[in-house]
Amino acid sequence: MAEWSSSVTEAGVQPNWREQIQVLISAEKWSPTIQPIAEKIANCERVTIDEGLILYKHKDLTEIGKLAGLAKAARYGKNVFFNSNVHINQTNICVLSCKFCAFRRSKKQTDSYELSIDSYLEKLDEYSPFVDEVHSVGGLHPDWDIEYYETLFQTVRDKFPNISIKALTAVEIKHLAKNSNLSFQDILIRLKNAGLTSIPGGGAEILNDEIRDIICRGKETTSEYLEIHEAAHVNNIPSNCTMLFGTLESLRDRLVHMDLLRRLADKHSMFQCFVPYPFLPDHSRLPEAQLATANEILRTIAISRLMLDSIPHIKAYRMNIGDELAEIALHYGADDVDGTVGQESIMHLAGAKSSLNYNVYNMAKLITDAGFVPIKRDTTYQNFTTVSVEAPKRIKKLNVIQS
């Protein structure tokens, strides 16, 4: 297995990608509608929100996919990244009641839970031989403050020094700040000192306060989401960012969302990965949602690649979109697939059907089957290992049974 490394801000991007993108895009023929946008992308100029709308409305999905695929190929060639992680949701007790959420429970509900530090460690112990990251997000527990998480992270770091802790979305940081009477900065610095490696991007939903007020009233506002991630970045804590689409937002709302994120990425280069995922309707409560089709999911992944020029990685979140669509998304600009997962509740209670308990072989096979080279990465995209698995073998001829 070949190994190499990169800095946090380069995050594995090929240094000559700007020359590459020019060569790759200029070698292709584009329709008259797409040609001017393709030229801008080839020259590394930023795609505007209005041009993003043209990409959303353009009938030929495959042309948008081809453009995004080349933008990805310029940065990573055939490489596609994945990590070996486990999700542990520390509690489902939450003081909020977001309309789309199928996970939260009140303290009184019989199926509510809160993991003690020992039970958390027990769960992690089961997966520790196979993973190098624990991804922990959960409800906003009314009684937990910074001390629970400080003790948890310190204990995880001491017991499992090789496992990175990617934990706590922006709204959880906000909630901890309130419960602990501390600033966002203070919370992040203390958690970093206790062992936090990076923060996930969840909770961005759609960065439009009118829509947020309907679908997730009480969560952090748009400016708070950006402020919390910026506070992480200035303290050298990298983060991911997300977008939940297919609820009540317009196409323009999605593009404005991407624009806000790329502007923050311009300032600190510490957003590592953008994770666009569609709203899953089962068991949750948002009947007015305009659900995203497969065309829209692939298109949104492709447009993310083209809009988010300052965010290196675009993720196909297989847990949410399923393994089959994740495989196709790798041809539509996504360069990263998350992940082995192990166990997870939030997406699966909301209707996700994707397999849990994937291992490195399954991940590498998914990527190889799609025609790419699997690269196992760490949480902060600094250390990489190329993984080889055999390409799928097909029998040459099926036996036909004559009746």
- Contacts with ligand SF4 by CB under 6 A lie at 94, 96-98, 101, 103-104, 139-140, 171, 216, 219
Q: Are 274 and 241 a contacting pair, CB within 8 Å?
A: yes
Whose Cβ is closer to ligand SF4: residue 71's or residue 280's?
A: 280
What is the residue-wise DSSP string for 268-295?
Answer: H--EEEEEEEEPP-TTSS-TT--PPPHH
- 40: tokens are 């801008």
Beta bridge partners of 87: 135
Whose Cβ is closer to ligand SF4: residue 31's or residue 97's?
A: 97
The verdict on whether omega for the bond into residue 339 sits within 30 degrees of 0, i.e. cis, is yes
Q: What span, in angstroms and rounded, lies between the C-alpha atoms of 170 and 220?
A: 7
Least CB distance from residue 362 to ligand SF4, whole Å? Answer: 28
Q: Which residues contact 216 (CB under 8 A, 6 or more apart)?
A: 96, 98, 99, 100, 101, 203, 205
Q: What span, in angstroms and rounded, lies between the C-alpha atoms of 252 and 266?
A: 21
Q: What span, in angstroms and rounded, lies between the C-alpha atoms of 73 and 79?
A: 8
Least CB distance from residue 394 to ligand SF4, whole Å? Answer: 43
Whose Cβ is closer to ligand SF4: residue 101's or residue 280's?
A: 101
Least CB distance from residue 184 to ligand SF4, whole Å? Answer: 17
Whose Cβ is closer to ligand SF4: residue 256's or residue 346's?
A: 346
Least CB distance from residue 238 to ligand SF4, whole Å? Answer: 22
Least CB distance from residue 149 to ligand SF4, whole Å? Answer: 16
Q: What span, in angstroms and rounded, lies between the C-alpha atoms of 313 and 184?
A: 26
Least CB distance from residue 204 to ligand SF4, whole Å? Answer: 11
Least CB distance from residue 139 to ligand SF4, whole Å? Answer: 4
Whose Cβ is closer to ligand SF4: residue 97's or residue 223's?
A: 97
What is the residue-wise DSSP string for 345-377?
Answer: SHHHHTT----S---HHHHHHHHHHTTSEEEEE
Least CB distance from residue 161 to ligand SF4, whole Å? Answer: 30
Contacts 24+ apart (CB under 8 A), 369-372: 369/327, 370/80, 370/327, 370/328, 370/330, 370/331, 371/78, 371/330, 371/331, 372/78, 372/79, 372/80, 372/330
Whose Cβ is closer to ligand SF4: residue 97's or residue 119's?
A: 97
Q: Are 277 and 320 a contacting pair, CB within 8 Å?
A: yes
Give Cα 121 distance to the centre of its chain: 25
Whose Cβ is closer to ligand SF4: residue 102's or residue 366's?
A: 102
Whose Cβ is closer to ligand SF4: residue 40's or residue 105's?
A: 105
